[in-house]
Structure 1
Amino acid sequence: MKETLDLCESPAIKGETRFCATSLESMVDFTTTQLGTNSLNVLSTLVHQEKRSKQQLDQSFVVQPGIVKMESPAAVACHSKLYPYAVFYCHKTMDSRSYIVPLMAEEDGSSAAVVCHDDTSHWDPRHAIFKMLGVEPGTKPICHFLPPHHFLWVSKQQPWLPTSKNISLLAS
């Protein structure tokens, strides 16, 4: 809980707008404030779980053909945080790209929302990702998959939206 409170109360880094949403309504309000009131799509990582135990969810996935780059000039990511009630850390960052990446595990057609941050020069140099990758802030783009139950909001203004069964739109 302390980590969630610290994150929600800390100042945004340069080029970022952040907000901790405690309801779906406040998440939508923040997102439309950042991206406009045009139609939005909500994308999320989808892992088919019907026939899997908890241990089987910790498995490898293979990236499949059909990666879709979001042409939207901006996106808002909302990450679920540990707290006694629903809290989502939502943020809009500049200098980032978003993708939907088809994945395969046991022939199931899962898909993942991916965000690549091109400019990490203003990130905390102690961030764990820099240690994991052995890079310094601002030297390389950092890409990451959004876990299930995290959301990526993008504008619905372009005609690129896929209809493949491997790509899942949570809402239209």
Structure 2
Amino acid sequence: MDHLLSLLSILVLAVGVTHAASPTELYWRSVLPDTPMPNAIADLIKHSTDVGQLALGHPVTKAMATSTKLRSYFFLENDLHDGAKFTLHFTGTGSRPSLLTRQEADSIPFTTTKLPEILSRFSNEPGSHEANAIETTLEECEEPAGYGQIKKCATSLESMLDFTTWALRTRDIDTVSTRVGKEDSSEQQYNVVGVREATDSPDWVVCHVQPYAYTVFHCHTKGNSTAHMVSMVGEDGTKAEALAVCHDYLDGPNPKILAFRGFPAKHGTGNVCHFQPQDNILWIPKSTGTFLAS
């Protein structure tokens, strides 16, 4: 009996120190019980800050990228092949701004008509690089979707899940995202050693993290886009399985997007592609296509 009581005490102590699931994690489990949460999303939740602390004035500098760095992620689809070389910097999700719960996100305006209030809330000076990035993201989110696409800017994981399951008409979903051998590898040249389709499904949704004061996902359905998994090896030996999404230049991207300024359309050279950071996600319905990225 004493032995049994000791075992029970150990179990009670173990339960007491178990990580309590956040509301966001619980919502994931309720909506996608058979879909493992990607590590990148779990890391975003782990490193997130309470909205009250955000309101004290944490600038979005870490979420910003220079146009030069962004341009290094963009290329033409015809240039994607074995032996191609790309200079890239894959950063860990710890450098991203907070992922808010739906309740927190819904308490903050998200519209260009409230831009001065938003900038003041996050202590960003009008005209600053951070303020311009926030304004650009809001403008992009208010633009109509590309031809044949449905889009939504989701300000919380809950909102992203709702849009994805609605757009794909199922909760039986796989996820695909970029995987890198190092948590935060240095900027370096990567050599492509393999390219394959991410999926043969006729329907999918991709969600890109936007530069903002907190994590905002720009999600859209497939439309005329294509998705590839690109196997690469860096100069220091770092291996990466990078998700690349390619868009028809005429249907998107929006020419206002910073990364596309000065990137000329070249007819006959293929769609415009961009590599996805580790916290961007491709959502694929299991019942309508084969999962090819693993």
Q: Same fold (TM over 0.5)?
A: yes
* Counterpart residue number, 1:42: 175
Which amino acid is 1:95 matched to?
N
Higher relative contact order (CA 8 A, sep 6+): 1
Question: Residue 157 of structure 2 aligns with which residue?
Answer: 24
Partner residue, 1:75: 204
Higher strand fraction: Structure 1 or Structure 2? 1
Question: Which runs of structure 2 are paired with 1:134-145 in the superposition (5 Å)?
Answer: 134-135=265-266, 140-145=270-275
Q: Where do 5+ consecutive residues of structure 1 fail to align?
A: 164-172
Q: Secondary structure at the match of 2:150?
A: strand
Aligned position for 1:170: none
Aligned-residue offset at 1:116 = 2.2
Is 2:170 the partner of 1:15?
Answer: no
Q: CA deviation at 1:151?
A: 1.3
Task: Quote the Cα distance in structure 1 between the aligned partners of 2:239 and 2:291.
Answer: 20
Gaps of 5+ in 2: 1-133
Amino acid at match of 1:64: V
Q: Which amino acid letter does the alignment assign opposite residue 274 of structure 2? A: H
Once the two structures are TM-superposed, the CA of residue 89 in structure 1 deviates from its matched residue by 0.8
Matched, 1:115 2:245: yes
| Structure ID, larger Rg | 2
1:9/1:66 CA distance change after superposition, 3 Å: closer
* Superposition deviation, residue 34 in structure 1: 1.2
1:146 is aligned to: 276
Residue 102 of structure 1 aligns with which residue?
Answer: 231
CA RMSD of aligned residues (A): 2.7
Cα distance, 1:139–1:108 mapped onto 2, change above 3 Å? closer
Tell whether the 8 Å contact from 1:121 to 1:139 is kept in structure 2 after alignment: no
In the superposition, the TM-score normalised over structure 2's length comes to: 0.47
Count of matched residue positions in the alignment of Structure 1 and Structure 2: 157
Task: Report the Cα offset of residue 3 of structure 1.
Answer: 1.2
User: In the TM superposition, what is the alpha-carbon distance from 1:120 to its structure 2 partner?
Assistant: 2.6
- Pick the structure with more helix per residue: 2
CA distance in 1, matches of 2:157, 2:146: 24
2 CA distance for matches of 1:71 and 1:39? 16
Contact 1:21 1:87 survives alignment (8 Å): yes
Distance 1:108 1:79, change over 3 A: same
Report the residue type matching 2:286 in the other structure. Answer: K
Give the drift of 1:18: 0.9
Tell me the equivalent position of 2:286.
156
- Confirm whether residue 5 of structure 1 aligns to residue 135 of structure 2: no
Query: Among the aligned pairs, what percent are the same residue?
Result: 36
